[in-house]
């Protein structure tokens, strides 16, 4: 018999898990029903991401587990017993979340399971970002109550901005599991031809490639801000906070650079509270 993971079935366990994430402050400002739905989406993403990142098990086994998620989502949307996806039922029902977006996230994880991504071309990186981040944005905008037009624009831009920021922050962690998400075009522009993760992030020239990717992320942040400044209908405080927090992280990385040794950039609580207050007052 399939049982739900603890994080999905136990709200306290899920909150403890989420509290260490950069999304926590944004989730906390949402009304309770919307916050519960966002917690459910976050839990789903964490669980399928854990499958993709578990290098201790064979790829074939991890692929089978992702297929089981696809089957359980099929059951959920067919109103049948949904196994491990059962905890998503209320969020799907209350906010009209689309199965295709959940499946896109799984497809993104499948890319990591099929082979360790190493210096993908920009087109492949764009596809990966669309699946693992923009699809989450498409789910989120329905919880934010946004109209589809501006909502999809926001998901497209902010999702990419957040994911590129994560890539730049997680260089060392990703290299430790054999992955390098920096696109080969930007590595080549910096004079690098290696696709070996350790060699790439140890090369001082990686700083140039990272700054090029950061500039692309900043373009996406700016475009997302234009959507938000137009004040479309919806509960927009959460995405404003997500944008402000992640852009602050990116700006600090730009100051510190990406030449080894690097430290993982974090935002302290006083700074985070200031960002929350600023976004709450000024939008």
What are the φ and ψ backbone dihedral angles of 159, each rounded to 5 degrees? -60, -45
Chosen domain end from 56, 82, 115: 115
pLDDT at 5: 43
Query: Which is higher by pLDDT, 245 or 129?
Result: 129
pLDDT at 14: 54
What are the φ and ψ backbone dihedral angles of 235, each rounded to 5 degrees? -90, 100
Question: What is 190-210 written as a DSSP string?
Answer: TT-----HHHHHHSTTHHHHH
C-alpha–C-alpha distance, residues 26 and 38, integer Å:
10
Reply yes or no on whether the pLDDT at 223 is more than 70: yes
Domain-located, residue 281: no
Do residues 174 and 154 share a domain? yes
Residues β-bridged to residue 180: 118
Give the confidence band of 9 by pLDDT, cuts at 50, 70, 90: very low
pLDDT at 7: 44
Do residues 98 and 177 share a domain? no
Do residues 39 and 142 share a domain? no
pTM of the model: 0.90
Chain-centroid distance of CA 220 in Å reads 14
Q: What is the mean pLDDT of residues 228-254?
A: 93
Q: 131 lies in which domain range? A: 116-268
Domain-located, residue 251: yes
Do residues 125 and 240 share a domain? yes
Q: What is the mean pLDDT of residues 47-55?
A: 95
Do residues 263 and 145 share a domain? yes
C-alpha–C-alpha distance, residues 235 and 240, integer Å:
10
Query: Which is higher by pLDDT, 126 or 35?
Result: 126
Domain-located, residue 11: no
Do residues 142 and 202 share a domain? yes
Domain-located, residue 2: no
Do residues 83 and 179 share a domain? no
> pLDDT tens-digit profile of 62-105?
999 999 999 999 999 999 999 999 999 999 999 999 999 999 99
Domain-located, residue 197: yes
pLDDT at 11: 47
Reply yes or no on whether the pLDDT at 254 is more than 70: yes
Do residues 87 and 128 share a domain? no
User: How many domains is the chain built from?
Assistant: 2
Do residues 229 and 216 share a domain? yes
pLDDT at 8: 46
Do residues 80 and 192 share a domain? no
Question: What is the chain written as a DSSP string?
Answer: -----HHHH-HHHHHHHHTTSTTHHHHHTS-HHHHHHHHHHHHHHHHHHHHHH-TTS-HHHHHHHHHHHHHHHHHHHTTS--GGGGGGHHHHHHHT--HHHHHHHHHHHHHHHHS--BS--HHHHHHHHIIIIIHHHHHHHHHHT--HHHHHHHHHHHHHHHHHHHHHHTHHHHHHTT-B-S-HHHHHHTT-----HHHHHHSTTHHHHHHHHHHHHHHHHHHHHHHHHT--SS--HHHHHHHHHHHHHHHHHHHH-SSSS-------HHHHHHHHHHHHHH-
Do residues 233 and 221 share a domain? yes
Do residues 34 and 130 share a domain? no
Domain of 243: which CATH number?
1.10.600.10
Query: Which is higher by pLDDT, 197 or 24?
Result: 197
> pLDDT tens-digit profile of 15-42?
555 555 556 667 777 889 999 999 899 9
């Amino acid at each position: 018999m399939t049982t739900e993971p603890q994080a999905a079935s136990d709200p306290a366990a899920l909150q403890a898990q989420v509290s260490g994430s950069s999304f926590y402050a944004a989730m906390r400002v949402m009304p309770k029903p919307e916050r519960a739905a966002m917690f459910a989406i976050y839990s789903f993403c964490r669980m399928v991401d854990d499958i993709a990142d578990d290098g201790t098990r064979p790829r074939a086994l991890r692929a089978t587990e992702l297929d089981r998620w696809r089957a359980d989502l099929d059951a959920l949307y067919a109103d049948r017993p949904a196994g491990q996806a059962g905890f998503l039922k209320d969020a799907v029902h209350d906010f009209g979340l689309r199965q295709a977006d959940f499946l896109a996230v799984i497809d993104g994880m499948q890319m990591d399971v099929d082979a360790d991504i190493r210096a993908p071309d920009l087109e492949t990186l764009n596809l990966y970002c669309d699946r693992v981040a923009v699809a989450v944005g498409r789910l989120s905008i329905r919880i934010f109550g946004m109209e589809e037009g501006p909502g999809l624009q926001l998901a497209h831009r902010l999702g990419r901005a957040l994911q590129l920021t994560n890539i730049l922050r997680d260089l060392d962690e990703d290299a430790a599991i054999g992955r390098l998400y920096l696109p080969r075009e930007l590595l080549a522009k910096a004079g690098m031809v290696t696709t070996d993760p350790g060699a790439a992030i140890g090369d001082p020239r990686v700083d140039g490639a990272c700054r090029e990717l950061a500039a692309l992320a900043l373009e996406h942040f700016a475009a997302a801000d234009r959507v938000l400044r137009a004040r479309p209908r919806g509960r927009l405080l959460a995405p404003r906070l997500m944008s402000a927090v992640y852009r602050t992280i990116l700006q600090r990385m730009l100051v510190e650079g990406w030449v080894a040794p690097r430290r993982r950039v974090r935002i302290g609580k006083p700074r985070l509270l200031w960002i929350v207050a600023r976004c709450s007052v000024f939008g």
